[in-house]
Amino acid sequence: MSLSVQFLTLSYMIASGIYLGIAYTTFKRLTSFSHSTRVTQFFLELTFWTGQMFLIYFLLVNINQGVLRFYLFLACFCGFSMYKALFEGRYTQFLESCIKVIKVILRYSYLGMKRFIFQPLIFILSIPYLVILAIVKLVFRIFKWIGRFFFILFRPLLKLFPENIYKYLLSFVKICSKIGLRRFWLGKKDKK
């Protein structure tokens, strides 16, 4: 391995240490949103570190054919320490501002979609419902007027029925009162 490849590998491992610090800070911040159990947190950590290991080793294979030396681990640790000492505070502020910006963008996107997509869609879909409801109310009123007409015609005949049948009809009217037909059936005369 030539000196230039060793220097490039050393620089890469220092940069990968800084990257690991940034990635771990971001990972910790984003997993703080979820209230997961310890087992879930363990698997998330395991997945994160396995993914980072494969990524760093894949790039190391491209630089020096995957040769691992002890000083490369020290360089990675040195990069991580450099991140902790120099960049963590600034990066945390930057990450928090990015999260705030993303929250604002998502909130306004949600409100925009709600106002310009969902509300017009609900309005358009409610028009047939309102038309059908108006038609049903109109048909009900027509039947109500027809029923009143027949009731007025046949009301004198009701007085000819025996008392038992009239009581039976009154009990039927009391049952129907729950759906608003009592006033229609009895008229205004026999309310009790």
Q: Is residue 119 part of a domain?
A: no
What's the rounded mean pLDDT across residues 123-147? Answer: 89
Q: Is residue 26 part of a domain?
A: yes
67 backbone φψ class: left, alpha, beta (φ>0; ψ -120 to 50): beta
Q: Are 7 and 91 within one domain?
A: yes
Domain count, the chain: 2
- Give the pLDDT score at 33: 74
- Angle formed by the axes of helices 70-82 and 3-31, nearest 10°: 50
Q: Is residue 17 part of a domain?
A: yes
Residue 182: pLDDT band (50, 70, 90) is very low
Q: Are 91 and 167 within one domain?
A: no
Residue 155: pLDDT band (50, 70, 90) is confident
Q: Are 90 and 7 within one domain?
A: yes
Q: Is residue 173 part of a domain?
A: yes
Range of the domain at 67: 3-95
Q: Domain boundary residue among 95, 125, 148?
A: 95
As a whole number of angstroms, the distance between CA 91 and CA 87 comes to: 6
Total-model pTM: 0.60
Q: Domain boundary residue among 36, 61, 95?
A: 95
Q: Domain boundary residue among 61, 80, 95?
A: 95
- Give the pLDDT score at 37: 81
Report the percentage of the chain scoring pLDDT > 90: 42
Q: Is residue 117 part of a domain?
A: no
As a whole number of angstroms, the distance between CA 132 and CA 128 comes to: 6
HSE-CB at 98 with a 13 A cutoff on CA atoms is 9
- Give the pLDDT score at 176: 60
Residue 192: pLDDT band (50, 70, 90) is very low
Q: Are 7 and 86 within one domain?
A: yes
pLDDT (tens digit per residue) in 19-78: 999 999 999 998 887 777 888 888 989 999 999 999 988 988 888 887 888 888 899 999
Q: Is residue 88 part of a domain?
A: yes
Q: Is residue 126 part of a domain?
A: no
As a whole number of angstroms, the distance between CA 174 and CA 168 comes to: 10
- Rg (the chain; Cα; Å): 39
Q: Are 84 and 8 within one domain?
A: yes
